[in-house]
Amino acid sequence: MDIGFDSERILTAAAEFQKLDDFGDPAFKAGLAALLATYDQHVDSEASRQRVYMRVLKVLGARLRVEQAKKNHPDIAEEQIIQPMILTGLPRTGTSALFNLLSSDPASRALLQWETHYPDPIEGLAAGEMDPRHRKLVEKIEAQKAQNPEFQTMHFASADTPEECVLLHSLAFNGVQLGFECMLEPYQSWHQSSDLLPMYQYYLELLKMLQWRRPGDRWLLKAPAHMWGLDSLIKVMPDACILWGHRDPLQVIPSISSLTAMAAKMFAGHIPAMEKDKLGPLVMEFYARSLERGFAARSNIAAKHFFDYRFTDFVDRPLALIGDAYDFFKLPVDQGLKNRFTDYIEQHPKGKHGDHRYSFESFGLTQAMILERFDFYYQHPVYSQYL
């Protein structure tokens, strides 16, 4: 039997399964409706429709549990998020590797993969007892690795590795979701025209909940998708330290096209609108717009919030780059921390999880197309300074 993507039906199913009925601020329902309409229009096979339906059901369940946890523990709201360090910029600019390296700083409280799936606390756990849902996610990720080994060469993940913020954003039914829905209609138009401030306010609540569960000195966060909402991010985190990575789009767009193709296939099967020769232009336009949005917002935000770096600088001199960033944001770096960073680099050589190769022609792209669409980036003072 085919899956019906009806908002009220899935809301009822989630409430019945969780035995809870408070989803919080109903503003999320507009994004939910747009997302469901997108899945209904673009996801073909019954198995894939079932898979994305269950994903939405799972996210709604997490939202219900988060609202209940807020009621059970009102002191969560008193948590303070102070001077978070946030990585953004185009994807494939070294942000993931830098994110993982920075997480070796004991002062960095990184967002972990398993926490993005289960931000709510389980009641009754003994001190030091691991959340049993952690083991379930470990098993799920291992199964995904076996089914999609090539995906791991592009985006290595385990339950305990640092992860992007977008999975927290998805609980607000806004943001880029899994990285392909945001390029399909009607969700694409809805997302790009929506007010992202409510999503960032909810995101802040989730970070407070996670910090209440596992305290840390300073949040370490990362998502290229933050370029869409820098103005909203600064409103909710006015002392944010933002590291912005830069790389030639000729290297970025083919790589992220390949990753997007894999993610779409893994989570939603065959999507006619995202067949390989059609995908490149969709990806190129989405990330060009994200850069345009990010630069527009940045022009109204104090320069003290932004540290720019070149991808090649991270590859060639990662320790010096981190030292420069910490100095810029007036964060301490002693010899012990330098040793930690050095040890991490030695233990995690490039290509440890495999190399991935791609060609942009196979995604319906040419060099001329990318150069023309990103001309605004090549001409931008920030780009010319850092590349």
Residue 2 lies in a domain: no
Selected residue with higher pLDDT from 319 and 147: 319
Chain center to CA of 207? 14
pLDDT of residue 146: 72
Residue 357: Cβ-neighbour burial (10 angstroms; 0-12, 13-18, 19+): exposed
pLDDT band (50, 70, 90) for residue 158: confident
Q: For residues 306-332, give the mean pLDDT.
A: 96
**Residue-range definition of the domain harbouring residue 62:** 7-123+132-386
Residue 253 lies in a domain: yes
User: pLDDT tens digit string along 362-385?
Assistant: 899 999 999 999 999 999 988 777
Partners of 86 in beta bridges: 221, 242
Partners of 221 in beta bridges: 86
Distance CA 131, CA 124 (A): 10
pLDDT of residue 328: 98
Q: For residues 43-67, give the mean pLDDT.
A: 96
Distance CA 51, CA 279 (A): 22
Residue 275 lies in a domain: yes
User: pLDDT tens digit string along 347-367?
Assistant: 988 755 445 556 788 899 999
User: pLDDT tens digit string along 284-301?
Assistant: 999 999 999 999 999 999
Residue 370 lies in a domain: yes
pLDDT of residue 2: 62
Q: Look at residue 218 and give its three-state secondary structure.
A: strand
User: pLDDT tens digit string along 122-135?
Assistant: 988 877 788 889 88
pLDDT of residue 354: 47
- Supply the DSSP string of 8-62, one letter for each residue: HHHHHHHHHHHT----S-TTHHHHHHHHHHHHHHH--SHHHHHHHHHHHHHHHHH
Q: Using the predicted structure, report yes or no on whether residue 24 has a pLDDT greater than 80.
A: yes
Residue 79 lies in a domain: yes
Percentage above 70 pLDDT, the chain: 94
- Average pLDDT across the chain, whole number: 93
Q: Distance of CA 155 to CAs 84, 177, 351, Å?
A: 23, 16, 11
Contacts of 9 (CB under 8 A, 6+ apart): none
pLDDT of residue 13: 97
pLDDT band (50, 70, 90) for residue 147: confident
Torsion (CA) 16, 19, 25, 29 in degrees, nearest 10: -20
What six digits make up the tokens of 30? Answer: 């507009």
Percentage above 90 pLDDT, the chain: 82
Distance CA 144, CA 359 (A): 25
Residue 216 lies in a domain: yes
Distance CA 157, CA 109 (A): 17
Question: Which range has highest mean pLDDT (146-150, 317-321, 347-351)?
Answer: 317-321
Residue 164 lies in a domain: yes
What six digits make up the tokens of 61? Answer: 């369940």
Q: What is the pTM of this model?
A: 0.93
Q: For residues 305-316, give the mean pLDDT.
A: 95
Sign of the alpha-carbon torsion through 367, 368, 374, 377:
positive
Q: Pinpoint the alpha helices (H) of the chain.
A: 7-18, 28-42, 46-72, 95-102, 113-117, 132-147, 149-154, 166-169, 187-193, 197-213, 230-236, 249-268, 276-298, 311-316, 318-328, 335-347, 367-373, 375-378, 381-386
User: pLDDT tens digit string along 36-51?
Assistant: 999 999 999 999 999 9
Q: Using the predicted structure, report yes or no on whether residue 150 has a pLDDT greater than 70.
A: no
Number of independent structural domains in the chain: 1
What six digits make up the tokens of 105? Answer: 């700083």
CATH code at position 146: 3.40.50.300
Q: For residues 226-246, give the mean pLDDT.
A: 98
Residue 1 lies in a domain: no
pLDDT band (50, 70, 90) for residue 156: low
Q: Using the predicted structure, report yes or no on whether residue 159 has a pLDDT greater than 70.
A: yes
pLDDT of residue 55: 96
pLDDT of residue 155: 54
Q: Using the predicted structure, report yes or no on whether residue 118 has a pLDDT greater than 50.
A: yes
Q: For residues 247-266, give the mean pLDDT.
A: 93
